[in-house]
Amino acid sequence: MLHAMQFFMTKSVTLLRDSFEDVLNSLPRPTEFEYSYNPNLRLVSIQMKHMMCFLIRETYLDVLEELEKELRLKEPTLWAPTFCCIMILCMCAEMVQTTTDLRVVNALDDKAKSTSGLDKNGNSPSRDGSIDVCRKLDDLPIASATSIFHLIYRTNKLRDGSKREESFNPIRDGLDTVREAQLGQDVEEFVRRIHVVVSNHREYIYCR
């Protein structure tokens, strides 16, 4: 759900005239004026994005609180859902990074066309600012979540290249680890599919 909501925020909303009344009835009306029978569809789109932004913030809080509870339990049976949750959070962060950089690029294009050197909002956009936002997402929330996950399940290797004692990493150690931990057929299939994806894209992964 969170990934779908974040994906929605990266797209432009297109409303059909036949359905805009249903959308209007589900959105709060401005207090200063009433909608006419021919409302500004761009304004309705902005309202929808605003409401989705509010829902995303609430959903992030719920997801992070639940993730914290599961990580505290340190149960091998929770390895798969916590791994998937962190992966989804990484995908959402990447969408935010892409959207942020795209908006800055568009703003720089507006700035280049403007005689005042400012964009259409009167701002002076900078690509360095976009890069800084992207790096903060990598270095703070995402890095923290992944490091905590590795610490709890001890999935990372030591600096000398050796493995941690009693580490738990089914993706690294294979399907036998899933069977020994009795995680079930679903997790076994999940790990198997990851191995297939890695095998099919091995050259690209190594290049990256």
pLDDT (tens place) for every residue of the chain, 208 residues total: 888 888 888 877 776 766 766 766 776 666 566 655 555 667 777 778 888 888 988 998 899 899 888 888 888 888 899 999 998 888 888 888 888 877 777 776 666 666 555 555 556 667 777 788 888 888 888 888 888 888 888 776 655 555 555 578 888 888 888 888 888 899 999 999 999 998 888 888 777 6
pLDDT value for 192: 93
Same domain, 148 and 194: no
Q: What are phi and psi of 46, to 5 degrees?
A: -65, -40
With tokens 């909608």, the residue in question is 35
Same-domain pairing of 184 and 208: yes
Task: Tell which residue, 80, 38, 91, 56, has the closest CA to residue 171.
Answer: 80
Identity (one letter) of the amino acid at 157?
K
Please report, for residues 41, 104, 161, the alpha-carbon distance to residue 114 in angstroms, rounded to integers and kept in the order given. Answer: 27, 15, 55
* DSSP string covering 71-123: HHHT-GGGHHHHHHHHHHHHHHHHHHHHHHHHHHHHHHHHHHH-SSS--TTS-
Same domain, 61 and 84: no
Do 171 and 87 contact (CB within 8 A), yes or no?
no
Q: Are residues 173 and 142 in the same domain?
A: no
Residues 101 and 155 in one domain: yes
Domain termination residue (choose one: 58, 73, 88): 73
Tell me, yes or no, whether 161 and 78 share the same domain. Answer: yes
Full residue range of the structural domain in which residue 122 is found: 74-165
Domain end among 34, 57, 73: 73
The total of structural domains in the chain comes to 3
Looking at the structure, do residues 82 and 157 belong to the same domain, yes or no? yes
93 and 120 belong to one structural domain: yes
Residue 182 main-chain phi, psi, to 5 deg: 55, 50
Residue 122's pLDDT is 58
- End-of-domain residue from the set 23, 55, 73: 73
Which pLDDT score is estimated for 190? Answer: 92
Q: Phi, psi at residue 31, to the nearest 5°?
A: -80, -20
For the chain, first and last CA: distance in Å? 29
Asked if 109 and 27 sit in the same domain, the reply is: no
